[in-house]
Amino acid sequence: MIVLGIESSCDETAAAVVRDDRTVLADVVLSQLDEHRPYGGVVPEIAARAHLDHLDHLVAEALSRSGIGLAETDAIAATGGPGLIGGVMVGVMTGKALALVAGKPFIAVNHLEGHALTARLTDDLAFPYLLLLVSGGHCQLLAVEGVGRYRRLGATIDDAAGEAFDKVAKMLDLGYPGGPAVQRAAERGDPGRFALPRPMKGRPDCDFSFSGLKNAVRLLIADQAPLSEADRDDIAAAFQMAVAEAIADRTKRAMGLFAMTYGGPGALVVAGGVAANAQLRRTLTDIAGQTGFRLVAPPLNLCTDNAAMIAWAGLEHFRLGHQDGMDFAPRPRWPLDPQAKQLRGAGV
């Protein structure tokens, strides 16, 4: 079984071809960094136009690199949300058009499910597993019970982890994109020079919060101004360590819940762009060692946005008999766990 995948929910335009024996036959990603850099963040309208300009030739490129003709694919998958609606519309329309032309089934994939199932593409991994999803727009701990079956254990009550990295990078004038820039500065800095809070540490739930930490960084910068190069590096290092340790504390809590619910420790999968952070990976390796969990961290290029994860999630759905109609409407919001949210709303 072979699936063509399309991703266009944020600022990466991507196409990939994946086979059910977990082979990535082609994986093409075009990042729009240069288009958005002057604005210090992603501009939705510019993103949508760039997807429109590039998606066609990226799909052609992915097919040609894979050596697979459109007619030999079994299904076409495209990100159906959540994300910037203009970009998602471009991907969904392209996916539907290709499916119609080739007479293939169309599958709309939840972008977050793409991140969530990537570890089953890169590793021999069975359900259930514990997922730490840390990306530009999301920060959640979920029990993944099966394809399309997610139970939310905790989530951020304000900013996402990636958002915090991006904002701190802006405050420190480290450039765009923020996460990798903070990591580079942090590698030169001393994480012990400044004390920053570990938000939510020790709380009995599995929720996250990053806005207080972000504010603490803002105050620290004001206090130390004007900043030398070394000050910048030390603040970046202190911030990165605070994020990694805060996430580790929340994740440890979720590991306890997971072990209680599913009869023991299992795999901890880390996904999303912030999963590329080296300090976070080191800290998670430590807590996995302490708790008996196996840490599964996909390679960096499959942590940040890509279409291989969309093709794979589409394939996982397709082999269970799922597909979508031509009337599928792009979804700017699409939580992985609607039932769990209702339960939380009902005070359970």
Q: Which residues are annotated as a binding site for substrate?
A: 133-137, 166, 179, 277
- The least distance separating Mg ion from the CB of residue 224, rounded to whole angstroms, comes to 30
**Residue 265, preceding peptide bond in cis (omega within 30° of 0):** no
Numbered residues of the known binding site: 111, 115, 133-137, 166, 179, 277, 305
Structure tokens at 161: 């982890």
Tokens of residue 26, six digits: 């082609």
Binding residues vs ligand ATP (CB under 6 A): 10, 83, 111, 115, 135-138, 162, 165-166, 177-180, 183, 272-274, 276-277, 304-305
Whose tokens are 């991907």? That residue is 91
Residue number, 72 or 187, with CB nearest to ligand ATP: 187
Between CA 306 and CA 308 the distance in angstroms is: 6
Q: What are the residues binding Fe ion (CB under 5 A)?
A: 135, 305
Q: Are strands 294-296 and 267-271 parallel, antiparallel or unpaired?
A: parallel
Q: Are 168 and 214 in contact (CB under 8 A)?
A: yes
Query: Which among ligand ATP, Mg ion, Fe ion, none contacts residue 51 (Cβ within 5 to 8 A by kind)?
Result: none
How far does Cα 21 stand from its chain's mean position?
23
CB nearer to Mg ion: give 156 or 306: 306
**Binding of Mg ion by 10 (CB under 5 A):** yes
Stretch that binds Mg ion, among 100-108, 119-127, 153-161, 305-313 (CB under 5 A): 305-313
Q: Is 264 buried (19+), middle (13-18) or exposed (0-12) by CB count in 10 A?
A: exposed
d(CA 133, CA 149): 15
Binding segment for Mg ion among 144-152, 224-232, 260-268, 300-308 (CB under 5 A)? 300-308
Name the binding residues for Fe cation. 111, 115, 305
Give the max Cα distance, the chain. 63
11 binds Mg ion (CB under 5 A): yes
**Nearest residue (CB) to Mg ion, 10 versus 276:** 10
130 binding Mg ion? (CB under 5 A): no
Cβ at position 215, least distance to ligand ATP in Å: 18
